[in-house]
A and B are shown apart, each in its own frame.
Chain A
Amino acid sequence: RKEVEQDPGPFNVPEGATVAFNCTYSNSASQSFFWYRQDCRKEPKLLMSVYSSGNEDGRFTAQLNRASQYISLLIRDSKLSDSATYLCVVNNFNKFYFGSGTKLNVKP
Chain B
Amino acid sequence: EAGVAQSPRYKIIEKRQSVAFWCNPISGHATLYWYQQILGQGPKLLIQFQNNGVVDDSQLPKDRFSAERLKGVDSTLKIQPAKLEDSAVYLCASSFLRGLGYTFGSGTRLTVV
Give the B-binding residues of A (Cβ under 8 A).
4, 31-32, 34, 42-46, 49, 87, 89, 91, 94-101
Tell whether, in the assembled complex, residue B42 and residue A94 are in contact, meaning their CB atoms are under 8 Å apart: no
Given known A-B contacts A31-B99, A91-B99, A96 and B45 have beta carbons under 8 A apart: yes
A-B contact pairs, 18 of them (CB 8 A): A4-B42, A43-B105, A44-B43, A44-B104, A45-B104, A46-B101, A46-B103, A87-B42, A87-B43, A89-B101, A94-B55, A94-B99, A96-B33, A98-B35, A98-B42, A99-B42, A100-B42, A101-B42
Q: Which residues from B are CB-within-8-Å of A44?
A: 43, 91, 104
Q: Could you say which of A4, A42, A44, A101 has the most chain B C-beta atoms within 10 Å of its C-beta?
A: A44
B98 interfacial contact with A, CB 8 Å: yes
- Bound complex: CA A31 to CA B106 (Å): 27
> Would you give the shortest CB distance from A89 to chain B, in whole angstroms?
8
Q: Which residues from A are CB-within-8-Å of B43?
A: 44, 87, 98
Q: Which residues from B are CB-within-8-Å of A4?
A: 42
> Would you give the shortest CB distance from A39 to chain B, in whole angstroms?
11
B107 interfacial contact with A, CB 8 Å: yes
